[in-house]
Structure 1
């Protein structure tokens, strides 16, 4: 039996451990508050000023935002990012789900296949863009190879077409990100009770109907997580565009992130770049806040249950 005098030091050590842990997290908390939140607020403040090369401390209202949406290049970038986002998210979700279902069949060599499918996501978007730039180059890539194999009429010069270049960016991005969706959905599939499949098989339910009617409804949280990750990637897409097309031909593949970087560093227009970045910040918050709220509501329901 332990005496009370020996138990007191252990009891008094616990608060000190909690304080020490919080003190250890203090530098990171100050970094988040000072660097991230502070710079975000500073950018929002600059977007309401007439800043050009250097920041100014004046206030001109929403003039920068009006100028922003009157700029044709910005409007084109928004149009491109909408096309890119819809096709990219839809293709990644469909392809990622099909890959996850394929691996869920307990195929031989699953570990190797999972690594192969997920490997493109480990590459940088710059490397992905350069590889696909070479592959889609009409003089070096797929078109040249097909013509050398005896198909002289084969035409796949999308990367130099103003109407089709944005679709080449979608192809490269889907190739890289679909493996991430596969990993997220495969984790969700492995969390579903296998007895459901056994019961469905006893009732004579086809496998495709099982995945469509039973599995898909239970993968809602996994699809939600994958959707948010992909949507945030759409908002900040930059590297693959610069590596593949530099926003060209002309402004045909311009995206908001490239517009911001060009105005910030090349055109020396800090105020306009800050206004554009604030618009994109609001877009990200519009995606994250509902997702966070839905997750918190679901967590509360699970705790009550």
Structure 2
């Protein structure tokens, strides 16, 4: 009897232990290579590291140098332009496409994957494709000239005053379908009884969306904002593939600034300081969102 009782208890213990053993290597890898290196980067931002990590403590000197650099301020200004346009256009376009598909149109099954397809591509592929498309020598302008429209000109990618907007165009093309999917899920989650009651009261579709459905989708808007803001702050590969940060520093963003100062200008301390600032930016977006979600979960 004792052996029979011991066998099930041992088996239950192994069943509880096995998932932990399977997840332990992944957990350890994340702990070391994500959070460990985040802490290490934060530490380097207070040292005199140049080409290689160093442990000479300099306090806030790197942060003082960072905020005194016009290059850094240019990157922040570009982030403001890129981030605001990226979030607004993606949100408006995604909501419009979601409302279109929510009308139960016949081609929904075809349009939905078409809109979502760009998100399946890497930002490197997107940047390279749009670089070819916008290049005056081989892209849109060249094609229009071959078709006989000799006066057509579109040289934004070569113009330092407009190059940042080409990054916005490429980023919106890639992400708007994903935002559409988020809004479409939110639209499909609205209680039909509320909509039917409004229709019985004589409300038009425009009024229903404006007064009832869209206000009920505030959590979706917040989620979309957090995702897009996070992507905007850490945007790197799209810029490198599309413009390389140029012409000049016209499309420089904090992520490309961090890379250039860390690996090409041998100023690892300043690069680490800029990376820490980026982490604070992302945390300022994500932490309040997580706090609101957890508070809502406790109340419910």
* TM-score normalised by length of structure 2: 0.94
1:12-56 per-position Cα deviation (integer Å, ceiling 9, x unaligned): 644442233223222122112222111111111111011101111
1:265 is aligned to 2:263: yes
The CA distance in 2 between the partners of 1:199 and 1:110, in whole Å, is 26
Segment of structure 1 superposing worse, 113-122 or 67-76:
67-76
Contact 2:51-2:267 within 8 A present in 1 as well = yes
**Residue aligning to 1:193:** 191
1:158-193 per-position Cα deviation (integer Å, ceiling 9, x unaligned): 111111110111001000000110111111111111
**Residue aligning to 1:161:** 159
Shift in Å at residue 150 of structure 1?
4.1
Contact 2:51-2:263 within 8 A present in 1 as well = no
- Equivalent pairs counted in the alignment come to 300
Residues 214 and 8 of structure 1: CA distance in aligned 2, closer, same or farther (over 3 Å): farther
**Residue aligning to 2:115:** 117
1:178 to 176, 179, 182: 176
Q: How does 1:1-305 map to 2 (within 5 A)?
A: 10=8, 13-302=11-300
Residues 8 and 239 of structure 1: CA distance in aligned 2, closer, same or farther (over 3 Å): same
Contact 2:90-2:172 within 8 A present in 1 as well = yes
The CA distance in 2 between the partners of 1:111 and 1:179, in whole Å, is 14
Q: Secondary structure at the match of 1:250?
A: coil
Segment of structure 1 superposing worse, 28-37 or 168-177:
28-37
The CA distance in 2 between the partners of 1:167 and 1:226, in whole Å, is 21
Shift in Å at residue 143 of structure 1?
2.5
Shift in Å at residue 252 of structure 1?
0.6
Segment of structure 1 superposing worse, 276-285 or 5-14:
5-14
The CA distance in 2 between the partners of 1:9 and 1:102, in whole Å, is 60
Shift in Å at residue 141 of structure 1?
2.2
Q: Secondary structure at the match of 2:278?
A: helix
* TM-score normalised by length of structure 1: 0.93
The CA distance in 1 between the partners of 2:3 and 2:28, in whole Å, is 39
The CA distance in 2 between the partners of 1:126 and 1:280, in whole Å, is 21
The CA distance in 2 between the partners of 1:65 and 1:9, in whole Å, is 61
